[in-house]
Amino acid sequence: MASLKLLKTRFLEYIEIERGRSLKTVENYDHYLVRFLDFIKTDNPSNITADNVREFRLWLNRQPAGNKKAGQTLNKKTQNYYLIAIRAFLKYLARQDIKTLSPERIELAKVTERSLDLITHSELARLLGSPSGNDLKDLRDKAILELLFSTGLRVSELCSLTSDINLESDQLSVRGKGGKVRVIFISPLAKQSVEKYLAARKDMSPALFVQVNPASGAGKNAKKEAFDAKPLTKRSVERIVKQHAIKAGISKKVTPHVIRHMFATDLLGNGADIRSVQMMLGHSSISTTQIYTHVTDKHLLEVHKKFHNKR
């Protein structure tokens, strides 16, 4: 029988090649499984039992939470990442007809309901209006903000867009998490902002959003930059959003994901059905989309106003 170490390697190759998981996901699964296998101290799949999984969970629950405040332990969401990796590994072993613990014996820890980081509609309007100049940087930043709000794109998806984007249509396809392709829709204002930005571009970079050097001059340096414009990274886009939030006088922390939240709540608050919003966000499970419903249910507000405190 193959050792657990060898089976782990085969499993990681399987999720990378057969399941199309990203290299980052494979690295994370490797990290979680290494810690688990080191803990149970066995190289025999049949020695994985409900008891040593329970002991591992107890150990995991007592681990310090990294660079957070002293006394805090690993949160339940992070603990579940380990359990998801272990369960996926056990499912793989079961498919290989290897005797081991049933994956159904792995139950995830209950986590507190996720809270949404939202800004008000007036704050959103100030944020979108923050880049108001006609220089390349403001045109780029305006296009980024409008496109994020129009489409609900994840920041990684935004950074993967290319400059040959087809703006003749109101929609385009993007490849999201897990390599899944979905259709996103572009509002007229977002389309106009991207067109203005592209018209002002002088570089030859294939990326849609690139770094802008405010000190760009003429001559050889300008020609060099025309070919060497580097694509924006996720961190760069996060900094751009943060800078414009500060400029707009918003005291809350604003990230590209907050704009994605606003995209979803805007749709649901105006009557869109949750299944459609799920598709537009690229959520694999509707339960992920349901976190938005409690902040957009106008019917509940109307009921409260109509029936509460009739004095």
Give the residue numbers marked as catalytic: 154, 177, 257, 260, 283, 292
Q: What is the per-residue DSSP string for 207-254?
A: BSSB---TT--SHHHHHHHHHHPPBPPHHHHHHHHHHHHHHTT--S--
Element (H, E) at 138: helix 136-151
Residue 185 backbone dihedrals phi, psi, to 5 degrees: -120, 135
Q: Residue 151's closest CA among 138, 131, 136, 167? A: 167
210 strand-pairing partners? 231
Report the Cα 71 to chain-centroid distance in Å: 29
- Pick the closest to residue 89 from 171, 8, 179 (CA basis): 8
**217-251 as b/e: b if 16+ CB within 10 A:** eeeeeeeebeeebebbeeebbbebbeebbeebebe
The tokens for 79 are: 């603990």
Rounded Cα–Cα distance for residues 308 and 311 (Å): 9
CA–CA separation, 8 and 280 (whole Å): 35
